[in-house]
């Protein structure tokens, strides 16, 4: 059985005080949940403080990005070892905003995946197509490249989570239907099986990301290949995120 995972990507939101207040409320609301892996990924500035605040709780800490070198003359970057030292358990890699806005290549993303695993952390590898790619029939080719090249050289799949995020559904209010999500998740699981083994594919968690809300999480999570959610805006409201964590 794959343990469901609900991860909150806060993006560029929350001051330190706001972050502490949010996790304080969240910690109370989800304290009895023991069958879901819960993760919050705040801005870098809040990671260390929140790691302390959440110590001993059922909520883990993630980072939204990292650089692939462990140290060196890379002004403005943070490495996986530094994030681990700050208290992180996971690092999100390859988010569509990193690909689309910051121009990260598949090769760079692959290097980041390997760097995160090398540091002893777990990784959430994001994949997803744009609306143009979906409508032009390129979706499966794009997803195949993102999975195969993103995981190139990766042997430790036990610490890899994949998050499917249709770019057209992120922050737009649009959501892939539960049937669309299941279709793509099943395809991605097949890709993992082709790269590794049926057992590894069956054990790999695939999250859905793209305007996940309290109102649509139950239907999404009812799909056999949807193992959780990577939540954006709704993760910034304790009540909404707690409801998603407690999906039915």
pLDDT tens digits for range 118-128: 999 999 999 99
DSSP state, 41?
E
- Does 173 score more than 90 pLDDT? no
Residues 6+ apart with CB under 8 A from 64: 9, 10, 11, 41, 43, 44, 91, 92, 95
Q: Where are the domains of the chain?
A: 5-245
Is the pLDDT at 172 greater than 90? The verdict is no
19: helix, strand or coil: helix
Which among 97, 133, 165, 185 is annotated as catalytic? 165
User: How much is the pLDDT for 135?
Assistant: 86
How many angstroms separate the CA atoms of 206 and 161, rounded? 6
| Measured CA angle at 219 (ends 63, 41), to 5 deg | 10
Name the active-site residue from 37, 95, 129, 133: 95
H-type alpha helices, the chain: 16-29, 44-53, 80-86, 96-100, 106-118, 131-135, 139-150, 178-195, 198-203, 217-221, 238-245
199 counts as catalytic: no
Average pLDDT over residues 156-181: 88
**What's the chain's average pLDDT?**
96
Question: What distance lies between CA 224 and its chain's CA centroid?
Answer: 19
For the chain, give me the number of helices (H) and strands (E)? 11, 8
Q: Which CATH number is associated with domain 5-245?
A: 3.20.20.70
Helix H or strand E segment including 94:
none
Region for 60 from its dihedrals, namely left if φ exceeds 0, alpha if ψ lies in -120 to 50, beta otherwise: beta
Q: Establish whether 13 is a catalytic residue.
A: no
DSSP β-ladder status, 122-127 and 90-93: parallel
The candidate with the shortest Cα–Cα distance to 57, out of 41, 81, 82, 33, is 33
Inter-residue contact 71 to 81 (CB < 8 Å): yes
**What is the structure's pLDDT at 101?**
95
Per-residue CA distances from 74 to 66, 67, 71, 77 (Å): 12, 9, 8, 6
> What share of the chain has pLDDT > 70, as a percent?
100
The structure's pTM equals 0.96
Length of the chain: 248
H or E element at residue 71: none
């Amino acid at each position: 059985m794959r343990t469901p995972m609900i991860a909150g990507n806060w993006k560029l939101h929350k001051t330190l005080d706001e972050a502490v207040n949010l996790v304080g409320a969240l910690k109370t609301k989800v304290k009895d949940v023991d069958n879901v892996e819960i993760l919050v990924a705040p801005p870098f500035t809040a990671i260390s403080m929140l790691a302390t605040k959440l110590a001993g709780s059922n909520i883990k800490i993630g980072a939204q990005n990292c650089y692939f070198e462990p140290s060196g003359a890379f002004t403005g970057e943070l490495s996986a070892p530094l994030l681990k030292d700050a208290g992180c358990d996971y690092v999100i890699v390859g988010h569509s905003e990193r690909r689309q806005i910051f121009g990260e290549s598949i090769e760079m993303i692959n290097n980041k995946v390997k760097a995160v695993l090398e540091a002893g952390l777990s990784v959430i590898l994001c994949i997803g197509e744009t609306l143009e790619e979906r409508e032009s029939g390129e979706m499966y080719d794009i997803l195949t490249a993102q999975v195969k090249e993103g995981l190139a050289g990766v042997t430790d799949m036990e610490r890899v989570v994949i998050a499917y995020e249709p770019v057209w559904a992120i922050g737009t209010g649009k959501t892939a239907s539960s049937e669309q999500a299941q279709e793509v998740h099943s395809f991605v699981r097949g890709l993992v099986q082709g790269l590794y083994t049926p057992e590894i594919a069956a054990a790999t968690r695939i999250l859905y990301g793209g305007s996940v809300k309290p109102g649509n999480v139950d239907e999404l999570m009812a799909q056999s290949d949807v193992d959780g959610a990577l939540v954006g805006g709704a993760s910034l409201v304790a009540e909404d995120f707690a409801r998603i964590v407690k999906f039915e």
